[in-house]
Chains A and B, each alone.
Chain A
Amino acid sequence: MITKNFSNGRMVAAAAVALLSSISLPALAATPGSALVMAWNIDAISTFDPAQIGEVVTSELVQNTCDSLVDFDPADESKVVPLLAKSWDVSEDRKQITFHLNEGLKFPGGEPATAKELAWSMQRVVLLGYGNASTLTEYGFSKDNVKERIVATDDNTLVLKLDNPYPTNLILQAVGANRVSSLLDMKTLMSKEVNGDMGNKYLATNTACVGPYRLVQWNSAESIVLEANDEYYGAKPKLKRVLIRHVAEPGTQRLLLTQGDVDIARDLSPDDLADLDGKPGLKIERVLKPQLFFWTFNAADPVFKDERVRLAMRYLIDYDGLAKSVMTYLGVPRASFAQLGAVGALNAEEGQPFKLDLEKAKALLTEAGYPNGFESNVLFGTLPHSAPIAQSVQANAAKVGVKLSLERMANAQLFARIRGREFQSGMLAWQTGVPDAHGNASRLVYNPDNRAEAKLTQIPAWRSSYQDEDFNKRVQAALLESDPEKRNEMYYSLQKDVMEKGPMAIMFQMYNTLGMSDKVKDWTWNGFRVYYDAVSK
């Protein structure tokens, strides 16, 4: 309740700022010509260890300081392009990929960086066993076999041995372009080792890897300075420095941006974005990210175990109305589990066939034995769009007799409830790390073991107590299908079926948005990466 009043108060204040700043005279300051200056909420940074990081800010920083084996194509995230590896060969049976690294790789200190360090860095992710280990264990690497399966055969050659003939493109995306294939400075890290942590503690405040930039200063919750790495093997970044100032309040970010004290504001509110859009000297940029916002149902709940009820709920979501109001700068309607931009994803139209249809919802509920509706509960967190969406759904549900009570809570608490299966339904977001339909199929659809004691808490399908043997088989079959066309077809049909029956009503695919000065040129990003080295001023 307090939070709600606070946010209302904030909206009033934001409106007042908008009003006042529109009448104020521009007294523009300037940022240095050789540096990119960003205002960003960087509260969540806790480590720069590629084996451990899990949130967006650090991921973006690590991607710009630590090159991975291969990279996402800036123009099309579903394709991969060379990075540390200039080329790669795939064995006949698709179970071995041999990467040929660029010559003359060096760490920022000038020491040579070789495939040996790279193999160690990748093994390290599995051996340490933090969250990112699952990126590798998912494809058959384990603590027992990783030293045989990821090996350097000479200074410039790295070999990955897989347990199954996975699609090569998928492995390149999921492993090659992921932070788990950063090339870390083994000697430095091992010299700083504490209690067998392989340098994890050192990396809490440092970076030690090969990349276009290096971290030179980090004042927690204050600022970050990246500087171009002179020893970098690739093209030198156009801007010498990237300065990031921690600013938590969107209204403050907006002021800094319009004053010219920062080039880019990363966390503007939708109201600010709408207001600044089209203002002279400023640009609004947005790109779809691989994050889905959905309403998940607990299939163990006596009401929601019926797939007709779950389908009925989808017809209570006002996709178009929300897209035109709350979600304008936040996301686009999407009902398929495969995000736009991924290999195997249905196109925008086919991937979102639903619309608000109370009669259809009513008919489905009647068929399921609830002609007069039912009572249930919706949990949601503190994402700014959660409350308006939940309220819109609640209002529509009331029209067909379904009484939904809404319960708002801190995100950490929401996650705990959902992971513990202690909910009837909940609204939250999920982000995949792979631009391939398999990324979400393996989590939002596939559930190998539905027993409570299996505790597959990292799998949202398991959290929803949902298991469908047919879907499981189709997810596995599509993963290993060798013909790309056929593989796509398998995903298309799977998406259409899951949309009707699955445990989640997927609602929106989210945008990354920012406001920036028009002095910034060539800002380059896609759903998976931001390319600082391409930016100029």
Chain B
Amino acid sequence: MADIVHSVPRSDAGNMARPNPLLVVLKVVGKILLPVLVTLFGLAALTFFIGRMLPIDPVVAILGDNATQEAYDNMARALGLDKPLWYQFGIYVRGILSLDFGQALTTGKPVIEDIARVFPATIELATLAIIIGTGLGIPAGVIAAMYRGSWIDQGIRFVGLIGYSAPNFWLGLMGLVLFYASLGWIGGPGRIDFIYEFDIEPITGFYLIDTAIQGQWEVFRNVFSHIILPASILGFGALAYISRMTRSFMIEQLGQEYIVTARVKGLSWGRTVWVHAFRNVVVQVMTVVALSYAFLLEGAVLTETVFAWPGFGRYLTNALLVGDMNAVVGCSLLVGIIFVSLNLLCDLLYRVFDPRTR
């Protein structure tokens, strides 16, 4: 994925003569869309063939261990497993083009429907987590760079180290024991208390948004009390990464001569750092944030398990464990799409924030 980020055209557009607008469009499409399609096709092919070669039997996953050979053969035929591999892959690709990823073996529903169900739970969690991680991580990184080597820097480094190295599921369990079991400040595992669960009319699938739209503030509070701990713990991990990276970008900038110039001209230290130096690292920080967000969207399996969070990571892991290859390939493609589109988004934002790329 790093390759795609760095393959951004940086300054090759500036000194060319004005070409035909149609050509530009074609060129952009060729440059952006083609690699994306090739990447996704490669991903689909790779996961599909690995999945089919695993020594896991999808028929047993459906029929159970007790099925007769006749029932087994019928199901294998119904799944198309008696056809040659390339043929199965052809059918699969044709399905993908019409957004049909096949049936998930374990839930009996179309994979796309399953993903539509579990993904909002993960997006909601990941988004809140990245807001927490970015909101605290960037200032922490900048401050650490400003007071480099001081006790503040050491303190931030220490907190970051914990966020980096403590396993999420452990932090999750400890957090639950402390804030839910002992102090009773927050809701327990799950997205919502059972008594409210059926009050929510799913509109977007994001419980915070749905309850807010419907003005159910009591339910909203309950949802918030459930999401805040897992989001904080995931955000903590992101915070650690973002603050460390921001710090090192900032230190590099603060050593530049223009900083000295700004200071000599009488600018305040705060203004120098936040306005002049920080603006120069925004683009880099954005890449870090986008990648962190992509990782969070992949689903934090362990956190989702500990918090009984019905999200994407748990769905994918479960599918892997039972050998539900349709679901696995569908999910892998989605992860691929997330990474590719966040990278594209980054590219676009570069153009907005970095005058050199205009």
Contacts and interface: CB of A to CB of B under 8 A. Distances in A.
Contacts of A247: 189-190, 308
Contacts of B307: 252
B229 to A, nearest CB: 12
B339 interface: no
A54 B315 contact: no
A46 B66 contact: no
A415 B183 CA distance: 46
Given A54-B66, A130-B63, A413-B56, A219 B310 contact: yes
Contacts of B114: 220
A468 B63 CA distance: 28
A255 interface: yes
Contact of B69 (A45, A412, A416, A455): A455
Contact of A412 (B56, B68, B72, B308): B56
Interface stretch (A21-29, A277-285, A523-531): A21-29
Nearest to B75: A130
A419 B60 contact: yes
Interface in B169-214: 169-170, 173-174, 176-178, 180-184, 188-191, 194-195, 197-198
Interface in A230-265: 243, 245-249, 251-252, 255-256, 258-259, 261
Interface in B212-239: none
B341 to A, nearest CB: 26
A411 B55 CA distance: 11
A129 B305 CA distance: 35
Contacts, number: 169
A256 B191 CA distance: 14
B117 interface: yes
B74 A223 contact: no
A412 B173 contact: no
B3 interface: no
B308 A252 contact: yes
A204 interface: yes
Contacts of B65: 54, 415, 419, 430, 458
A13 B71 CA distance: 44
A356 interface: no
Contacts of B180: 255, 259
A12 B189 CA distance: 20
Contact of A16 (B109, B173, B191, B194): B173
B188 A248 contact: no
B69 A221 contact: no
B190 A458 contact: no
Nearest to A216: B198
B321 interface: yes
A393 interface: no
A55 interface: yes
Contacts of A27: 181-184
A223 B182 contact: no
B194 A223 contact: yes
B318 interface: yes
B250 interface: no
A contacts with B: majority SS: mixed
Interface in A119-173: 129-131, 133-134, 137
* Interface range on chain A (Cβ under 8 Å from partner): 35 or more
Interface string A8-48: 01101100110011001101000010000101000111110
A227 B337 CA distance: 41
Interface stretch (B100-108, B132-140, B347-355): B100-108
A25 B182 contact: yes
B112 interface: no
B198 A225 contact: yes
B174 A16 contact: yes
Contacts of A129: 70-71, 74
A221 B190 CA distance: 11
A243 B308 CA distance: 15
A245 to B, nearest CB: 6
Contacts of B64: 54-55, 131
B306 A251 contact: yes
Given A221-B315, A245-B308, A415-B60, A133 B68 contact: yes
A246 B308 contact: yes
A416 B55 contact: yes
B242 interface: no
Contact of A13 (B61, B169, B182): B169
B91 interface: no
Interface string A429-469: 01000000000000000000000000111100000000000
A457 B72 contact: yes
Contacts of A412: 56-57, 60-61, 321-323
B42 interface: no
Given A129-B74, A256-B188, A256-B189, A221 B55 contact: no
Nearest to A14: B173
A255 B318 contact: no
B118 interface: yes
B67 interface: yes
B167 interface: yes
B36 to A, nearest CB: 31
B314 interface: yes
A88 to B, nearest CB: 27
Nearest to B73: A455
A248 B314 contact: yes
Contact of A458 (B62, B69, B118): B69
Contacts of B183: 27
Contacts of B188: 255-256, 259, 261
Contact of A259 (B54, B170, B181): B181
Contact of B176 (A221, A245, A255, A458): A255
Given A16-B174, A252-B306, A261-B188, A47 B71 contact: no
A131 B67 CA distance: 4
B56 to A, nearest CB: 4
B107 A133 contact: no
A17 B173 contact: yes
Contact of B189 (A130, A255, A417): A255
Nearest to A417: B55
A46 B323 contact: no
Contacts of A249: 169, 189, 305-306, 308
Given A46-B106, A413-B55, A457-B69, 8 more contacts: A9-B167, A16-B170, A27-B183, A243-B194, A245-B308, A252-B173, A412-B61, A415-B57
Shortest Cβ-Cβ A-B pairs, 4 listed: A54-B64, A24-B182, A131-B67, A204-B108
30 contacts: A9-B170, A13-B170, A16-B170, A16-B173, A17-B174, A24-B181, A27-B184, A37-B194, A43-B106, A54-B63, A54-B64, A129-B74, A133-B68, A133-B71, A134-B67, A201-B108, A221-B107, A248-B308, A249-B306, A252-B176, A255-B177, A255-B189, A412-B57, A412-B60, A413-B55, A416-B55, A419-B65, A455-B69, A458-B65, A458-B67
